Amino acid sequence: MRRLNWGCGSHVAHGWINSDVKDGPGIDLVADIREGLPLAEGSMDYVVSVHALPEFAYHELGGVLAELRRVLVVGGTLRLVLPDLLKGIEAYQRGDTEYFLVDPAEVSSPGGRFVVHMLWYGYSRTLFTVDFVEELLAKAGFVDIAACSFRQTSSDLPEIVELDNRPRESMYVEARRGRDEPRMGGGLYNPPVTAQGEVQIGEFVHSTPNDRVRGHFRVERVDSGLALIGWALGIDSPVVRVEVVSGGEVVASTSPAAERPDIEQAFPDVPGAGTCGFELTIEPSGSGKSQLQLRAALEDGEPAPLGELEVVSRARRRGLFRRGG
């Protein structure tokens, strides 16, 4: 199953594609959804987002939801975990100031604690109720919209609830991508976002750690294509190159040399851990779909897998990739 943890922040999860607008440990895709996610249409079986949608303004919500719909397969499920405004109001009305996770030394009045908590120190730009979320999803073209409970799902995907948290203050809403195109309303609702750039990712798999190499990499959109950024550290033999292979041909390679003090701290006894970082750029030179392998070439002559990407290119030039540094 291909599953996206969108807007994950520092809450990355193993077995998911972890995506956020900011880089950080364990992030796989760094992208601003308002500019489009570097994922091919229909490439995800399901998407989960936990407390990320509130950071967008009202007029941006339609486009954000439409982009999440775009990357889902037909019939794929979106699960939203959001702060529930009504739960906050009820806590305020019953005088339950402990409900609000705000430092009382900073804000002590019940109303102030309610407001600062719901807006989360200004990071949240939109507040949500269940019926408002259902309306937004319907206008973005989703079907079978259903309110759920903590660790419960209306889908046939029991693992979709793995990322659920903060049940005391959250609501849980699911919806599926139907076969019809999105029907966006007028007014402040944006038209659907379409992924920009000539290269998109269809599938994304990590192959580390394994018995030969440790490592991790993420993907960022760049003007010329996609950048693969990460680190690779051999277990028994040093990594001398990191290579991207397409159709049996190495289309991009580099020697790991970027400083990674975090990896050096994690592996203080491994030579070269402090300079095991790398960055590779893949640039389209033609249209089509290609399966790329990212591998580490080791000093002993044997390659070790780092991961795989299914890349979809919309460029019109002949050939799929040209060499990138």
pLDDT grade for 322, boundaries at 50, 70 and 90 = very low
The answer to whether the bond into 284 is cis (omega within 30° of 0) is no
Question: DSSP string of 135-146?
Answer: HHHHHTTEEEEE
- pLDDT average, residue stretch 84-100: 96
Task: Look at the block and give the residue holding tokens 């159709």.
Answer: 247
Distance, CA of 113 to CA of 314 (rounded, Å): 50
Q: What is the pTM of this model?
A: 0.80
Share of residues in the chain with pLDDT > 90 (%): 71
pLDDT grade for 325, boundaries at 50, 70 and 90 = very low
User: In the predicted model, what is the mean pLDDT of the chain?
Assistant: 89
pLDDT digits (tens, 9 = 90+) for 248-306: 899 899 999 999 999 999 899 898 999 999 999 888 777 778 889 999 999 998 899 99
Name, in order, each residue with C-beta under 8 angstroms of 23's C-beta and a sequence gap of 6 or more: 30, 218, 220
- pLDDT average, residue stretch 212-225: 86
pLDDT at 315: 59
pLDDT grade for 54, boundaries at 50, 70 and 90 = very high
pLDDT digits (tens, 9 = 90+) for 137-192: 999 999 999 999 999 999 999 999 999 999 999 999 999 999 865 444 433 444 44
Lowest mean pLDDT among 213-227, 237-251, 267-281: 213-227
Distance, CA of 29 to CA of 308 (rounded, Å): 14
Core vs surface per residue 87-119: b (16+ CB within 10 A) or e: bbeebbeeeebebbebeeeebeeeeebbebbbe
pLDDT digits (tens, 9 = 90+) for 12-45: 999 999 999 999 999 999 999 998 999 989 999 9
Strand 225-234: give its sheet, edge to edge.
142-148, 170-177, 72-83, 44-50, 3-6, 17-20, 29-30, 213-222, 225-234, 277-284, 321-322
Where do the domains of the chain lie, and which CATH numbers do they carry?
3-84+128-177 (3.40.50.150), 199-322 (2.60.40.10)
Task: Look at the block and give the residue holding tokens 């990191």.
Answer: 242
Q: Please give the residue that has the higher pLDDT: either 317 or 162.
A: 162
Q: Please give the residue that has the higher pLDDT: either 184 or 236.
A: 236
Q: Please give the residue that has the higher pLDDT: either 197 or 211.
A: 211
Q: Are 279 and 252 in contact (CB under 8 A)?
A: no
